Amino acid sequence: METMSGSAALMRSMEKDGVKQVFGLPGGANLPMYDELFKSNIRHILVRHEQSAAHMADGFGRVSRKPGVCFATSGPGATNILTGLATAQADSAPMVAVTGQVPVKMIGRDAFQESDIIGMSNPVVKYAFQPRKPEEMPLAVQRGFYIAETGRPGPVLIDVPKDVQENKAPMEFPEEFQMRGYHPWMDPDVTGIERAINMLLSSTKPIILAGGGTIISSAFAELQAIAEMLGIPVVTTFKGKGAFPETHPLSMGPIGMHGHAEANKIMIEADCVLAIGTRFSDRSVGTVEDFEKQLKIIHIDVDPAEIGKNQTASVAIVGDVRASLRIMLSLLGKKAKHEDTVWRKHAAEVKSYWRDNLKIHSGEMSAARILRKLREVLPKESIVTTEVGQHQMWASLFFDVIQPGTFFSSTGLGTMGWGFPAAIGAKVAKPDVPVVDIAGDGSFNMTENSLATSVLEDIPVIVFLVNNFTLGMVAQWQRTFYDRRMIGVDQKHCPDYVDLAKSYGAHGTRVQSLDELGSAIKEALSSNVTTVIDIPIDPEEDVLPFVAPGTPLKDMILPS
């Protein structure tokens, strides 16, 4: 066994796990780690705030399907990443966060920059480690990465006291290990899948609801094959947007609070739903009782804790989504008969009607028109992230995802400021693919200092800034539910985003027409530096259709 410090063992272990880069910010309590990072082959990407480091790691993890890694020091550095951890946990993103901690003998004594990050993070991580001896580091890291990326992915925290980083010990790096009580995968129940098939085939109005688990397991081909084999319309949750090509004839788009009109309409008419990798969020299904009242539910999920949590399943299949769908495909081959059913024709008619007749906001630079222009110009393989707010929901409605697995958003926690740093992480994961952050001004404001990281670390992305000079979604709710008593939403002229971008060394441009927008997107795609495209729109424009909180999908509010 080789003798080395805990920090050296941390780097050796991460290199063994294939880590090529970490996103982080140094401080007093993690300097030993940084000193070893300096000696390693791992790239350090300097952030301007620890929350952004976590979001970058999150974006990297969602795109690469491997844990993104972020570093933070102790105390406030550690607590700053909590929002990023909670965001990753809510959306099942693989991540490993490594924080510094005060020396072991000082823990619990209110030492300078001490925080109980283990206690604080436990509710929002998949698992947390705090090695108390340097020789514990290799196994803690190995287990951390394994937990983060297996089963239902999630964030893992490794909190390392400073003396554990500094002290030396003989190190063993095991090739194999066991974890008692952790069983990330279960073999899907074939009998249950057979029951599900019979239920689907005996239904007259079946529908497929694809959630984020479909994207996590990369079950795109299997989902499309089943939908086409049975001729069943496909809706998605918002997190599942992009699990199925939205230009496909069977695609109805996302359901829910900000779902497509045709998706919500056809969802409430269905008599049986094949729900794949979804937790039946209230934002997707509206009121729980009304959603399941008329439906037979077939629920496939890798996490047994999701079964029966929000909806009662007639048939439940616990297991990896892709493995489950592959079994279903093999069994369907003997039974399925592709028919142009009355239900399928009806779904197509509903879709055609609402695509042709949904009233959109007037004016050339409406949200619908600018997002359709982005779709028109952007290559289909481009990766898109979003911030959180009205622009996010307009993206749900008007930006079609053509290539599955290329659209990512903070859907569970709804974290403003997530999109831009996540886009940077996504670009690190796939440097040869264009990456665009669809942003709103309020959300972009929260992490715009990541422009420094993007420029200085040479990680160019495009910020598609839908600028209505306000906290748009809050303003919409104040207009709709609070009789236009507007408070705390005005963000006029603060800042000038073109000047802001230029001050960081990025490109900044403002557009006033669709022609200018198309040219700006093309120019940004060919640029080797981040571009912020400032797109002023009407502050009074609402996101519609809309299902108000606490109401069923059938009560969807449509544009008048």
Of 112, 133, 293, 540, which is the active-site residue? 112
- 177: burial class by Cβ within 10 Å (0-12, 13-18, 19+)? exposed
Determine if the peptide bond prior to 184 is cis (ω within 30°): no
CB neighbourhood size of 12 (10 A): 19
CA-to-CA dists, residue 377 to 97, 386, 424, 478, angstroms: 36, 18, 21, 34
Instruction: Check if the beta carbon of residue 96 is closer than 8 Å to that of residue 17.
Output: no
Spell out the alpha helix ranges (H) of 386-495: 390-398, 419-429, 441-447, 450-456, 472-481
The single-letter code of the amino acid at 381 is E
* DSSP H/E element including 472: helix 472-481
Of 50, 135, 448, 457, which is the active-site residue? 50
Please list the residues that pair with 138 across neighbouring strands: none
Q: Is 262 a catalytic residue?
A: no
Q: Is 50 a catalytic residue?
A: yes
Of 291, 473, 491, 541, which is the active-site residue? 473
Of 66, 126, 162, 373, which is the active-site residue? 162
Distance CA 47, CA 50 (A): 7
Instruction: Check if the beta carbon of residue 394 is closer than 8 Å to that of residue 420.
Output: no
Return the ∠ at Cα 325 (arms to 322 and 331), rounded to 5°: 145
**Residues 84, 440, 286, 328: is their CA dihedral positive or negative?**
negative
The single-letter code of the amino acid at 79 is T
Specify the residue for token string 């919409």.
Answer: 476
CB neighbourhood size of 476 (10 A): 22
Q: Where are the beta strands (DSSP E) in 302-450?
A: 315-318, 383-386, 407-408, 435-440
Please list the residues that pair with 433 across neighbouring strands: none
Distance CA 410, CA 55 (A): 10
3-state secondary structure of 151: coil
Distance CA 441, CA 124 (A): 28
Distance CA 538, CA 365 (A): 8
Of 106, 113, 173, 194, which is the active-site residue? 113
Q: Is 23 a catalytic residue?
A: no
Distance CA 110, CA 399 (A): 50
Distance CA 388, CA 253 (A): 19
Q: Is 337 a catalytic residue?
A: no
Q: Is 291 a catalytic residue?
A: no
Produce one character per residue of 295-308: b if its CB has 16 or more CB atoms within 10 Å, e if not.
bbbbbbbbbeebbe
Instruction: Check if the beta carbon of residue 278 is closer than 8 Å to that of residue 253.
Output: no
* DSSP H/E element including 536: strand 531-536
CA-to-CA dists, residue 114 to 78, 96, 104, 119, 262, angstroms: 9, 20, 11, 12, 53
Produce one character per residue of 371-403: b if its CB has 16 or more CB atoms within 10 Å, e if not.
bbbbbebbeeebbbbbbbbbbbbbbbbbbbbbb
Q: Where are the beta strands (DSSP E) in 271-326?
A: 272-276, 296-301, 315-318
Active site residues: 50, 112-113, 162, 473
